[in-house]
Structure formats: structure tokens, C-alpha cells
Amino acid sequence: MLSSPTRPMEAKGDLIVGHTYVDESWDFRYENTKTLTHCFHSYPAVMIPCVAERLISEYGKHASLLFDPYCGSGTSLVEANMKNIAAIGTDLNPLARLIARAKTANINPQVLDLYLKDFADYIFSVAFGMQSVNAVIPPVKNMDYWFSCSVQEQLAIIKHFIMRIEDEAVADFFKVAFSETVRESSWTKNSEFKLLRMSAIQRERFRQDVFSMVQCKLARNRRGLKEMLEGNQQRAKSVIMDFNTVEGSHAIPRNSVDIVVTSPPYGDSRTTVAYGQFSRLSNEWLDIEDASQLDNRMLGGRVSKETQPVGFTLLDDVIVQIAQQDAKRAREVAAFYADYSCSIRNVAKTLKKGGYACYVVGNRKVKGMVLPTDETTRFFFERQGFCHVKTVIRNIPNKRLPARNSPTNQAGITDTTMSREYIVVMEKRESVA
């Protein structure tokens, strides 16, 4: 029978307990996190490339295949490919998959430059009335609420060009710059992940040259791609998939993966980092159906009517205390960890014996209670025949997260959010049916 890991009562220097410790060398406080194609497109709560690179260097020295089950914008995939390690990434968010594909694509720079020149000529001719375009504005939900009429027209003109690009990798390259332009030219508060509209005064003052914006992003991304090609032109490839690891891992053969490097969501998307809301406008402009329903598909998206115990005493005790304050929030928390447990069970099946699972997690707060995701992750993997290698605690100096949130949803009452991450490293010792 497995014993539940226990949280220490006090620390001695940097050593916390056993193989769990603070290591500031993992903070990467002054490192440039926008190298290579990591400069492509902002995305919520990304794993910084320095962490992924170090984990792959330490635990994937002889790896030939890396798997990231919650790949997001593809940080670990890029770092694996740069070390000539093939990678598989899965994510339910179409925007995340688009960014990950673009960041890991083997694009012919000469072909890309031809398209970039054609686009510059196209924008110039449209802007100065030398060419008229019958661009169609897509049926984005509440379009006039989020975009001015002039921005809608300019975005439609840009999309008109992109949809005619025949080279799929080049089209993805343009779509990534377009997506970021969609978000930044809208009336959303870009400092927020959730869809929140600017005030009337802010909207009145808000002026954006959409054509210049997208061209600046294309130029920035071209520089990142050039840096990556100069670093390794013969790098391995990534495959980006759309399937839910909660439901299974059938798309990846059992015992085929050497290393998993990932950063799973901190909690259900509706109440923590709102991936669906962050991506909705871009997904709708890119003709993704049911973009507004994305949060319901992610971990914890379906909540039961009763709070079900997870099976890990340390976590279940916290959920009980949350339920005493808010039964609904307790059910949401329990639903997330139930899905998380299923996902880990399926991810574990893909790893070879002796392979490593490296999970970068955060211990978020709900109703003022800290959820022990680090030790829960360890426990879930131990149930699958893994042993704990170590847990490194790192400070978060530059991860894009809100510094405070509202635990009660009452105006003016806030609490601090996560300031640390936990890098949980597990090794597969045996297979569990």
C-alpha cells in the first residue's frame, strides 16, 4: 500500500525534506526567455525554455522521443528538437497547437521571404488605394463589442492574404502573427487572460495601426526562426496532436517515450488561467468552431454534483476545508484532480521503464487554502510504479501570471497567488496495469 508523502513543518536552510529542496539556480531570473522561436506569440503561464532545456539535458541525455501531454505553445518541443530529440505534443486548444506547430516547423527561409515580400507589397497597395480587396469579416461572436470597425476591416484584409497561402508551414507562420495581432488590436485588456473589455475612456484613446503591428510581429518571428535555423538546421521534428490524455493515450504506443517534460494547468481553466478566454477571439477569427466552449473540454471542465474524494489524504483534507466555505468550488477542485489523475495514469503508460516524467507544477490557492499539487503529482505517479527522484522548488520571477486574485469574488478582497513552482521528477520503475 502506498504511503502519502507528508508536507514538512519546517525547513533547514535550502533543504526542505528528503529530495525536495529550494534551488535558486533554477530561477533563471536574468535569462532571455524569448530566444529562438520562443519569441512567437504570448501565451498564458508558459514553461520558460531554460527550465525545459535543463530538464532535457539532465534526464534526456540518451532520449530519442519526448512527450509533452499539455504542450501549450510548444516550449519543451522546441528545446527537444534543438537537441535532435523527436517530440510529440498534445493540447486541446487549437491556438496552442497552431503556435506549437509554427515554432517547431522546418520552414524554408527562402520560400518564407518570398511570401513576406508579397505580403508587404500587398499591404502597401491596399493601404494606398492601389488595390481593392473584397475581404470577408468572419462571424466572430460580439464582434462590434470587441473590435472597432476599422480594425475589423484591416484584420479581414490580412486574413484574406493568409488564407491564400498554399504552403502549410508558411501559412501557420503568418497565422501566429495574425492571432497575436487580433488580440492586441481588440478592446480586450491585454494585461488579463480573461476576456475583459477596456473602459469607454480607454477605448476612445485606443488607436492601433493593424497593418504595421502584424508586420512587426512577422519581422520579429522571422528573426527568431533565423536564430533557430542557425543553431541547428538538421534538428529533429515534432508532431502536434489533438487528443485528451484524460480519455487515453492510444495515439502514442505504450513504452515508447523516453522522457516527459511538461507544465500542466494549475487548475480548471474557468477559475485559474483562462486558456479558452485568452484564445477565443483568435480561434474565432481563424474559423475554429465552438471556440467559446474550450474551457469545458479541459482538465476539470466537467463538474459532478457531489464532491468525490481524490484518494490522496493530504489533498482530500484540503478539499474538505474548501467545501466548508464553498461547496461548488470544492467540487470544481475535486473534478480537476480527478481528471489530472486519469491523465497521469495514461501518460505513465507511454513511458519506457527507466524513463523520466518531469512535471513543472504550481500549488495554487483556493479560498485561501494551498493545494499541494506537487505532492499530489508525486502520489499519482507512485501509484503507476514510479519512484520520486526529486522536487526542486524555484521562484517565479518572470512567468506571466496575475500577482493577486480574488478568493471570495468580493470587490477589494484579494490574496497573493503562486510565487513558486515545483519541478517534480519521477522515474518509471515498473508498469501498472
pLDDT value of residue 12 = 39
Tell me how far the alpha carbon of residue 13 is from its chain's centroid.
Answer: 33
* Average pLDDT score, the chain: 89
* CB of 82 closer than 8 Å to CB of 231: yes
User: 417: buried, middle or exposed (CB in 10 Å: 19+, 13-18, 0-12)?
Assistant: middle
Within 8 A by CB and 6+ apart from 180, the residues are 41, 42, 217, 282
- Given a cut of 70, is residue 66 above it in pLDDT? yes
- Given a cut of 50, is residue 13 above it in pLDDT? no
Give residue-wise pLDDT tens across range 230-287: 988 778 999 999 988 998 878 899 999 999 999 999 887 566 667 888 899 999 999 9
What would the grid cell of residue 220 be? 520579429
Give residue-wise pLDDT tens across range 103-147: 999 999 999 999 999 999 999 999 998 988 899 999 999 999 999
Give residue-wise pLDDT tens across range 188-199: 997 777 889 999
pLDDT value of residue 1 = 41
Please name the residue that has the C-alpha cell 475612456.
201
Spell out the domains of the chain, with CATH numbers in brackets: 15-104+237-428 (3.40.50.150), 109-230 (no CATH)
* CB of 401 closer than 8 Å to CB of 418: yes
Which of the four pLDDT bands, split at 50, 70 and 90, describes residue 411?
A: very low
Q: Which of 356-370, 375-389, 403-417 has the lowest mean pLDDT?
A: 403-417
Query: Which of 214, 86, 77, 95 shows the shortest CA–CA distance to 157?
Result: 214
* CB of 209 closer than 8 Å to CB of 91: no
- What's the CA dihedral at 127, 128, 133, 139 to 10 degrees? 30
Which of the four pLDDT bands, split at 50, 70 and 90, describes residue 74?
A: very high
* CB of 341 closer than 8 Å to CB of 316: no
pLDDT value of residue 244 = 87
pLDDT value of residue 3 = 45
What is the three-class DSSP state of 16? strand
Cα angle for residues 64, 68, 70 (degrees, 5° grid) = 175
- Given a cut of 70, is residue 8 above it in pLDDT? no
Please name the residue that has the C-alpha cell 524513463.
355
Q: Which of 214-218, 352-356, 408-412, 418-422 has the lowest mean pLDDT?
A: 408-412
* CB of 347 closer than 8 Å to CB of 249: yes
Give residue-wise pLDDT tens across range 280-310: 999 999 998 777 677 777 776 677 777 788 9
What would the grid cell of residue 121 be? 507589397
pLDDT value of residue 269 = 57
Beta pairing partners, 425? 358, 390
- Given a cut of 80, is residue 150 above it in pLDDT? yes
What would the grid cell of residue 30 be? 536574468
* CB of 217 closer than 8 Å to CB of 209: no
pLDDT value of residue 40 = 97
